């Protein structure tokens, strides 16, 4: 089951992307850039800006891959799962779902759909302000340094007689977000322009899960009973301390998703930017920004909690009570585990209510103008979980070069995701359409180990043929002729 899950998760990468930093550094990105830097919309030379729809999804793992394949190649290819017993391996065959089998596995997933959003500038008491409103649908999942006990079955070798699974935590959250963006200039006496930006966000929690293993779990392996598969050992768990919390809108009886609000919360983004720019110049010479993003959490008051602490030894593999069982919902599975651990299906229930923290990060950006319309940009994003049980985003260092004009923009980039996965990509903006990728090669060319790929798309509306200089020239002049 886990292998099939990993396979479909990899297939989902055909429509995935990560934060398109090359486009977000574009001065014409407008409201789309507010989600990473609340000051960036202030630099938009247009008086207004709107986003109709954009999608931005990121997935990265070091557990599974598809051998010798590209994303486009997956469209007409059948994928086999690795089986050392039958000689099927991704090391020497194409189109095989195989496994890295490292001691620890990492999973990071982020989906961000920016819905109808807009920003506009206004002069209040001869001072420029930019205000914006955005709507988002976000999904985030994170598992870091998960003790990969599955590597033994993946390699078809016997599990050790005694093994200890180290502590781990995994968080998943799906939520809506409505945000108000505001930015203006501060320190008017300075010869540089200092911009302060803020996003105030209302969080609407939809689905969430939080699973924490608080201490080492002892796994014991014994030989199966006579007549059973000798390669499928009996596995028992003891000395466990696990908490599991969840809430979902999925109706398992009707197999439908029923939208409703399960949680509420508040979020805050703060940013400050200093730019070197003349009063009547369209473009800055350089820009330096610092932002802290996603301060906050979502409270799920009706979330269900279970706790499994030092109960009976639980028979995990070959247990007739668990093997080949069909569970209609997560609660049925947790109740069955409670019966195995305590002899009472309700014993593990620990009440209602839990919180999930937002994926807090700090963002640094430096941008340098090379010549008219040409910029080189550097971005560094470091996750800094603040609240307990926070979902976590990926760490990123990105460098990109872009050409930015009113109707046309394009650029190339290189990215280090998690500071070790080197990727290459870029973006292209023409009128209302933006296409981009921070990892373009897996889309087109076969990869020895295909485990991620990126694609970004947005549709925007803004005045393509206007800018500050043109509007200044159109102003009436009362000066003497």
C-alpha neighbours within 13 Å on the C-beta side of residue 392: 23
Across all residues in the chain, what is the average pLDDT? 87
Mean pLDDT of 368-396: 94
- pTM attached to this predicted model: 0.87
Mean pLDDT of 132-148: 93
C-alpha neighbours within 13 Å on the C-beta side of residue 426: 11
Is the distance from CB of 173 to CB of 299 less than 8 angstroms? no
The CA distance from 180 to 392, in Å, is 23
- For residue 102, give the H/E element and its range: none
CA dihedral 234, 238, 241, 243 (to 10 degrees): 30
Is the distance from CB of 378 to CB of 365 less than 8 angstroms? yes
Contacts of residue 141, Cβ cutoff 8 Å, sequence gap at least 6 = 107, 108, 109, 110, 170, 171, 172, 173, 391
Kindly tell me if the per-residue pLDDT of 387 is higher than 60.
yes
Question: For 15-29, 125-139, 231-245, 347-361, which range has the lowest pLDDT when averaged over its residues?
Answer: 15-29
Write down the pLDDT at residue 476.
Answer: 57
Write down the pLDDT at residue 323.
Answer: 80
Q: How many residues in the chain?
A: 481
Write down the pLDDT at residue 26.
Answer: 92
Give the tens place of pLDDT for each residue, 288-343. 999 999 999 999 999 999 999 989 999 998 888 888 777 888 999 999 999 999 99
Mean pLDDT of 34-46: 94
- CA separation (Å) from 294 to 38, 42, 266, 320, 387? 11, 20, 9, 45, 11
Mean pLDDT of 1-18: 40
Q: Which of 276, 381, 285, 394 shows the shortest CA–CA distance to 24?
A: 381
Kindly tell me if the per-residue pLDDT of 96 is higher than 90.
no
Higher per-residue pLDDT: 129 or 416: 129
Q: Which of 203, 105, 111 shows the shortest CA–CA distance to 146?
A: 105
Contacts of residue 330, Cβ cutoff 8 Å, sequence gap at least 6 = 246, 248
Kindly tell me if the per-residue pLDDT of 17 is higher than 50.
no
Write down the pLDDT at residue 465.
Answer: 60
Q: Which of 437, 394, 397 shows the shortest CA–CA distance to 416?
A: 397
Question: For 32-41, 84-93, 190-199, 212-221, which range has the lowest pLDDT when averaged over its residues?
Answer: 84-93
The CA distance from 63 to 146, in Å, is 10
Please give the share of the chain, as a percent, with pLDDT higher than 90: 57
Q: What token pair was written down for 208?
A: 């969430």
Write down the pLDDT at residue 128.
Answer: 94
Kindly tell me if the per-residue pLDDT of 468 is higher than 70.
no
Write down the pLDDT at residue 13.
Answer: 37
- For residue 262, give the H/E element and its range: none
Q: Which of 174, 180, 411, 190 shows the shortest CA–CA distance to 279?
A: 190
Give the tens place of pLDDT for each residue, 353-380. 999 999 999 999 999 999 999 999 999 9
The CA distance from 434 to 135, in Å, is 19
Give the tens place of pLDDT for each residue, 256-281. 999 999 999 999 999 999 999 876 67
Q: Which of 17, 8, 146, 14 shows the shortest CA–CA distance to 456?
A: 17
Domain regions of the chain by residue span: 100-113+122-439
Write down the pLDDT at residue 10.
Answer: 41
Q: Which of 192, 181, 47 shows the shortest CA–CA distance to 123?
A: 47
Write down the pLDDT at residue 380.
Answer: 96
- For residue 315, give the H/E element and its range: strand 314-317
Q: Which string of DSSP letters, residue by residue, matches 356-374?
A: EE---EEEEEEEEEEETTE
Write down the pLDDT at residue 8.
Answer: 40
Higher per-residue pLDDT: 160 or 401: 401
* Coil/strand/helix, residue 22: helix
The CA distance from 137 to 30, in Å, is 19
Kindly tell me if the per-residue pLDDT of 479 is higher than 60.
no
Q: Which of 433, 435, 436 shows the shortest CA–CA distance to 464?
A: 433
Mean pLDDT of 177-187: 97
Question: For 170-179, 304-313, 444-453, 472-481, which range has the lowest pLDDT when averaged over its residues?
Answer: 472-481
Q: Which of 196, 230, 123, 234 shows the shortest CA–CA distance to 475?
A: 123
Q: Angle at the Cα of 87 (from 81 to 89), degrees rounded to 5? A: 50
Please give the share of the chain, as a percent, with pLDDT higher than 70: 92
Q: Angle at the Cα of 335 (from 330 to 338), degrees rounded to 5? A: 130
DSSP state of 43: G
Torsion sign across C-alpha atoms 255, 259, 262, 268: positive
Higher per-residue pLDDT: 244 or 327: 244
Higher per-residue pLDDT: 152 or 199: 199
Kindly tell me if the per-residue pLDDT of 134 is higher than 50.
yes
Kindly tell me if the per-residue pLDDT of 42 is higher than 70.
yes
Mean pLDDT of 160-183: 95
Burial class (CB in 10 A: 0-12, 13-18, 19+), 338: buried
What is the number of other CB atoms lying within 10 angstroms of the CB of residue 5?
10
Is the distance from CB of 397 to CB of 414 less than 8 angstroms? no
């Amino acid at each position: 089951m886990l292998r099939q899950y990993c396979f479909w998760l990899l297939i989902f990468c055909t429509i995935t992307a990560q934060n398109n930093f090359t486009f977000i550094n574009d001065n014409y990105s407008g409201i789309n850039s507010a989600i990473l830097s609340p000051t960036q919309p202030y630099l938009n030379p247009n008086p207004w800006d709107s986003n109709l729809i954009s999608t931005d999804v990121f997935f990265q793992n070091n557990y599974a891959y598809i051998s010798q394949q590209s994303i486009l190649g997956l469209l007409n290819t059948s994928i086999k799962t690795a089986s050392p017993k039958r000689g099927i391996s991704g090391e020497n065959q194409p189109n095989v779902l195989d496994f890295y089998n490292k001691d620890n596995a990492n999973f990071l997933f982020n989906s961000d759909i920016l819905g109808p959003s807009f920003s506009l500038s206004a002069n209040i008491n001869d001072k420029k302000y930019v205000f914006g409103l955005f709507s988002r649908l976000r999904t985030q999942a994170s598992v870091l340094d998960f003790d990969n006990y599955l590597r033994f079955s993946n390699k078809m070798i016997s599990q050790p007689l005694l093994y200890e699974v180290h502590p781990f935590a995994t968080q998943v959250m799906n939520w809506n977000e409505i945000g108000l963006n505001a930015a203006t200039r501060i320190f008017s006496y300075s010869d540089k322009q200092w911009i302060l930006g803020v996003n105030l966000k209302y969080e609407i929690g939809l689905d969430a899960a939080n699973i924490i293993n608080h201490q080492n779990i002892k796994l014991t392996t014994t030989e199966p009973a006579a007549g059973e598969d000798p390669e499928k050992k009996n596995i028992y768990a003891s000395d466990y301390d696990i908490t599991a919390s969840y809430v979902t809108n999925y109706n398992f009886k009707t197999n439908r998703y029923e939208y409703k609000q399960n949680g509420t919360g508040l979020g805050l983004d703060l940013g400050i930017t200093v730019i070197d720019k003349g009063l009547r110049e369209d473009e800055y010479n350089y820009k330096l920004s610092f932002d802290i993003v996603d301060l906050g959490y979502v409270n799920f008051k009706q979330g269900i909690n279970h706790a499994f602490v030092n109960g009976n030894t639980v028979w995990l593999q070959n247990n007739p009570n668990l093997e080949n069982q069909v569970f209609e919902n997560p609660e049925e599975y947790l109740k069955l585990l409670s019966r195995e651990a305590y002899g009472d299906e309700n014993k593990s229930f620990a009440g209602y209510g839990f919180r999930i923290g937002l994926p807090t990060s700090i963002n640094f950006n430096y941008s340098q103008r090379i010549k008219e319309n040409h910029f080189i940009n550097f971005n560094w994003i470091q996750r800094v979980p603040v609240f307990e049980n926070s979902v976590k985003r990926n760490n990123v260092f990105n460098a990109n070069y872009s050409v930015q004009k009113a109707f046309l923009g394009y650029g190339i980039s290189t990215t280090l995701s998690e500071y070790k996965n080197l990727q290459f990509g870029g973006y292209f903006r023409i009128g209302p359409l933006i296409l981009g990728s921070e990892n373009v090669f897996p889309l087109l060319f076969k990869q020895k180990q295909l485990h991620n790929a990126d694609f970004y798309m947005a549709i925007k509306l803004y005045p393509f043929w206007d800018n500050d200089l043109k509007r200044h020239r159109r102003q009436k002049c009362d000066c003497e002729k």
